[in-house]
Amino acid sequence: MTSDKGVERQVLGTRLRDAREYLDLSQDEVARVLGVPRSAISMMEAGQRKVDALELKKLAEMYQQTITYLTGATSDEPAVPDTVQHLARTASKLSARDREELLRFAQFLQAKAPARKA
C-alpha cells in the first residue's frame, strides 16, 4: 500500500531530478550547495528522504522553479508552458538592458499576432 505522502515524495523526487538534469547539474554539485552528502540528493530524487523546507527553498532557487511546481501542488493558475519557463530562465540571466530589448521584441510580436490571424 502506497501512502499519499509516498506518492508526493515520488512526484517531488522526479521533479527535482528532472530540474537538476535539465540544468545539467550533477548530484555532487547540488549536494555541495545544500551542504549535504551526495547520497542525500540521490535519496531525495528517489523519494526515499524527506526534503525540509529550507532545502526545498534552496533547490527551487537553484533550479529556477517554484516550490509549487517542485511539490506537484496544483493551483487555479493555468500551467506555464515549458517553452515559456525556459524563456524566463534564460531571460533572467540577461542584463537589464537585454531584458528590456527582449520585452520590446515580445511586445512587437504580440502586436503582430492579430494581423497574422486575419
CA dist., res. 90 & res. 61, Å (int): 14
Global pTM reads: 0.62
CA dist., res. 48 & res. 39, Å (int): 11
CA dist., res. 14 & res. 9, Å (int): 8
Answer yes or no: is pLDDT of 54 > 50: yes
Answer yes or no: is pLDDT of 118 > 60: no
Asked whether 12 and 51 are in contact (CB, 8 A), the reply is yes
pLDDT-above-70 percentage for the chain: 87
**Chain Cα centroid distance, residue 73:** 13
Distance of CA 30 to CAs 23, 24, 104, Å? 11, 11, 35
In CATH, which of 1.10.260.40, 3.40.50.920, 3.40.190.10, 3.40.50.300 is domain 4-71? 1.10.260.40
Confidence (pLDDT) at 25: 92
**Per residue in 70-117, pLDDT tens?**
988 765 455 667 788 788 888 888 899 999 999 899 889 888 877 665
Within 8 A by CB and 6+ apart from 71, the residues are 8, 11, 12, 15, 56
What is the DSSP secondary structure assignment for residue 74, as one 8-state letter? -
Asked whether 30 and 6 are in contact (CB, 8 A), the reply is no
